Amino acid sequence: MVGSIMGRFRNSNGTLAYENGCVQNGGCLSEEKLDELRKLIGKSEGDPLRIVSVGAGAWGSVFAALLQDSYGQFRDKIQIRIWRRAGRAVDRATAEHLFEVINSREDVLRRLIRRCAYLKYVEGRLGDRTLFADEILKDGFCLNMVDTPLCPLKVVTNLQEAVWDADIVVNGLPSTETREIFEEISEYWKERITVPIIISLAKGIQAALDPVPHIITPTKMIHQATGVPMENILYLGGPNIASEIYNKEYANARICGAEKWRKPLAKFLRQPHFIVWDNSDLVTHEVMGGLKNVYAIGAGMVAALTNESATSKSVYFAHCTSEMIFITHLLAEEPEKLAGPLLADTYVTLLKGRNAWYGQMLAKGQLSPDMGDSISGKGMIQGVSAVEAFFELLSQSSLNVLHPEENKPVAPVELCPILKTLYKILISRELSSQAILKALRDENLNDPRERIEIAQSHVFYRPSLLGQP
């Protein structure tokens, strides 16, 4: 339609453009989407839409870079920034690797030379200079994803400066840090008149046992810490890998929350290579995002211990998905609605996620649970805290279900042998990684189909687990 009313020409790089400077299916459409969101939020002319990503892990950094790539050219209409703590030094090995990555990518090399930034990477490699995570992020290098150079980002290391007037705050923090940081943020928002929009990318949960056992998700942590209404807090997640998204491989995600914001935000975030769906069921999708990380660690262990045996991996997949289906019947009144998203997200995480990688490294002896769940070059392994939280919750006798064979009430975790084994490997550390194979090959282990039938034929739904009345 646009092409029929405007003159067209080829840019020097060969892309098709129009007389007003718009790239076909690019700049004009992006500006239109930006204008729509600005209008909805109530931004006046000359007042930029302010978006800040809090936390600079792989997903948080890629999310900010996606927005910068799509909308950064409209500087008078939007301001995109990312916050991370200052002062984290880049170790010598990472500095050397960064140098290799830079010199293997002509576009990145030229960009750094133009910015007069190349010399510091030479010095860092030689040990003549210490590089810091916040300064390399300004050049487009996420410490947890150094093989995937991003676009340069505006980095802020003062949290108050980053968030005090932000219209949209993206939570790129691990779930284990979310409450603490947003409690600090709430101090800076005491004088605010407008209510910000918050998009949480965090995958993980916390367990609370009083007054009844229940799950606390990152969006609830943010609500409790800041008082921002739940209708202004959304969750974005889905079957994707951060580096693949930035490299424009096909990916998708689901933004969940109140209709007022999820639909316009889905449109704003959607790209040709990054399809964003929207869904009203925020909490259960958020919990499922954490649950699949639990079983991804075990998948990595099985892959490493069996030399990537296709049969062993498929048997593990059958058992872990049957446990997840059982758990969804505890959490959701209509669990069948979660089956597709949960399985898709689980599949991609088992294939290529950091939690599966962590399981592999544990099984190979290259990492130990004693080293903690924050790993250099990978960031936070969210599945570890999720194993502890789900085990703790599902061990509560107040949630007892009827055991199908023993015909007596048992805690739900007794019907989740893979979860129990992962807890004993990762948290109580009673067992080695080898135990995952023993659990998988236990002759007394029920057929996965039986666990699904149990879940479907019994009234297991526990609304209290998600804080429902």
Domain that holds residue 269: 43-87+154-280
Average pLDDT over residues 303-319: 93
**Confidence at residue 20, expressed as pLDDT on a 0 to 100 scale:** 34
The verdict on residue 14 lying in a domain is no
Number of helices (H) and strands (E) in the chain: give both, helices first: 20, 16
Average pLDDT over residues 352-359: 92
**Confidence at residue 26, expressed as pLDDT on a 0 to 100 scale:** 57
154 vs 1, residue with greater confidence: 154
51 vs 398, residue with greater confidence: 51
Q: Which parts of 332-463 are beta strand (E)?
A: 374-375, 379-380, 401-402, 409-410
Residue with tokens 């950091």: 354
The yes-or-no verdict on residue 210 having pLDDT over 80 is: yes
C-beta contacts of 26-31 below 8 A and 24+ residues apart:
27/73, 28/2, 30/70, 30/71, 30/73, 30/74, 31/74, 31/77
Query: In this structure, are 393 and 360 located in the same domain?
Result: yes
Q: What is the pLDDT of residues 372-397, one digit of tens each?
A: 998 988 889 999 999 999 999 999 98
351 vs 37, residue with greater confidence: 37
The verdict on residue 439 lying in a domain is yes
Residues recorded for the chain: 469
* CATH code, domain carrying 419: 1.10.1040.10
Query: In this structure, are 83 and 217 located in the same domain?
Result: yes
Burial class (CB in 10 A: 0-12, 13-18, 19+), 469: exposed
Nearest C-alpha neighbor of 373 from the set 364, 382, 365: 382
Residue 436, amino acid: I
The verdict on residue 15 lying in a domain is no
The verdict on residue 306 lying in a domain is yes
* CATH code, domain carrying 55: 3.40.50.720
| pLDDT averaged over every residue in the chain | 89
Confidence of residue 469 (pLDDT cuts 50, 70, 90): low
Query: In this structure, are 59 and 177 located in the same domain?
Result: yes
Out of 13-22, 132-141, 282-291, 454-463, least confident range: 13-22
Query: In this structure, are 222 and 81 located in the same domain?
Result: yes
Please list the active-site residues.
292
Residues in contact with 356: Cβ distance below 8 Å, sequence separation at least 6, in sequence order: 296, 297, 299, 300, 303, 349, 350
Confidence of residue 285 (pLDDT cuts 50, 70, 90): confident
Average pLDDT over residues 63-72: 96
Confidence of residue 351 (pLDDT cuts 50, 70, 90): confident
Query: In this structure, are 265 and 330 located in the same domain?
Result: no
The C-alpha angle 58, 63, 66, rounded to 5 degrees, equals 120
Out of 65-79, 117-131, 365-379, 394-408, least confident range: 394-408
Query: In this structure, are 97 and 80 located in the same domain?
Result: no
Confidence of residue 185 (pLDDT cuts 50, 70, 90): very high
**Confidence at residue 443, expressed as pLDDT on a 0 to 100 scale:** 63
**Confidence at residue 231, expressed as pLDDT on a 0 to 100 scale:** 96
**Confidence at residue 266, expressed as pLDDT on a 0 to 100 scale:** 97
| Residues 439 and 422 sit within 8 Å (Cβ to Cβ) | no
451 vs 390, residue with greater confidence: 390
What is the share, in percent, of the chain residues with pLDDT greater than 70? 92
Query: In this structure, are 271 and 370 located in the same domain?
Result: no
DSSP assignment, residue 90?
A: P
Query: In this structure, are 203 and 119 located in the same domain?
Result: no
Sign of CA dihedral 393, 396, 399, 401: positive
The yes-or-no verdict on residue 169 having pLDDT over 90 is: yes
Average pLDDT over residues 255-266: 96
What is the share, in percent, of the chain residues with pLDDT greater than 90? 68
Confidence of residue 463 (pLDDT cuts 50, 70, 90): confident
28 vs 23, residue with greater confidence: 28
End position of a domain, from candidates 280, 309, 344: 280
Query: In this structure, are 191 and 105 located in the same domain?
Result: no
Average pLDDT over residues 346-371: 92
In angstroms, the Cα distances linking 28 to 19, 22, 236 are 12, 5, 25
What is the count of structural domains for the chain? 3
Secondary structure (3-state) at 214: strand
d(CA 153, CA 399) in angstroms, rounded, equals 47
Confidence of residue 4 (pLDDT cuts 50, 70, 90): very low
The verdict on residue 64 lying in a domain is yes
Burial class (CB in 10 A: 0-12, 13-18, 19+), 211: exposed
End position of a domain, from candidates 258, 280, 302: 280
The yes-or-no verdict on residue 38 having pLDDT over 90 is: yes
**Confidence at residue 27, expressed as pLDDT on a 0 to 100 scale:** 67
Residue 102, amino acid: I
The verdict on residue 247 lying in a domain is yes
Out of 10-14, 65-69, 144-148, least confident range: 10-14
**Confidence at residue 23, expressed as pLDDT on a 0 to 100 scale:** 41
End position of a domain, from candidates 280, 301, 322: 280
Query: In this structure, are 246 and 365 located in the same domain?
Result: no
The verdict on residue 25 lying in a domain is no
**Confidence at residue 346, expressed as pLDDT on a 0 to 100 scale:** 85
Query: In this structure, are 162 and 248 located in the same domain?
Result: yes
4 vs 139, residue with greater confidence: 139
The verdict on residue 35 lying in a domain is no
Q: What is the pLDDT of residues 117-164, one digit of tens each?
A: 999 999 999 999 999 999 999 999 999 999 999 999 999 999 999 999
The yes-or-no verdict on residue 14 having pLDDT over 80 is: no
| Residues 203 and 342 sit within 8 Å (Cβ to Cβ) | no
Query: In this structure, are 178 and 258 located in the same domain?
Result: yes
Average pLDDT over residues 83-110: 96
d(CA 444, CA 146) in angstroms, rounded, equals 45
The yes-or-no verdict on residue 309 having pLDDT over 60 is: yes
